[in-house]
Amino acid sequence: MSVSMNRSVVERFVVRWAASSLGLWLAAGLSSHITYNGGAGVILAAGFLLAVLNMLLKPILIILSLPAIILTLGLFMFIVNGLVVYIVSGLYTPLQITSFWSAVFAGIVIGLLNWMISALLEDNRRHDNL
């Protein structure tokens, strides 16, 4: 594996970590059902755990729920994202999410933020290559 490929993987993980942390912070600000005890460190730790679970667990969940994802034309991905966020809140107690639907809301916020950041970075890469 080349150094540039390793760097790309690390960069993508760091971007996902930052986006997950920012999304959790934003979702907590928008919903009274999502709270955290502590400061930015709690959000960064929860974002890190979320990024790791998205990397390891989410692909398995997607494969297991593929029929539902196909039947709902991809909308079931919101449920999968919410499930991963809900698992994070169960594993990391300083992050408290009171209901599964609040976790789905957080998953939507994080997903939209990830999409926007990825689109911006991809657009910047295209301009750099021109």
Domain extent listing, the chain: 3-129
Supply the pLDDT for residue 4.
Answer: 59
Q: Say whether pLDDT at 7 is over 80.
A: no
pLDDT at 1 over 60: no
Q: What is the pLDDT of residues 75-108, one digit of tens each?
A: 999 999 999 999 999 999 999 999 999 999 999 9
Has residue 48 got a pLDDT over 60? yes
2 pLDDT higher than 70: no
pLDDT at 3 over 60: no
* Mean pLDDT rounded to a whole number for the chain: 90
DSSP per residue, the chain: --HHHHHHHHHHHHHHHHHHHHHHHHHHHH-TTEEESSSHHHHHHHHHHHHHHHHHTHHHHHHHTHHHHHHTTTTTHHHHHHHHHHHHHHHSTTEEE-SHHHHHHHHHHHHHHHHHHHHHHHHHHHHHH-
pLDDT in tens, 49-84: 999 999 999 999 999 999 999 999 999 999 999 999
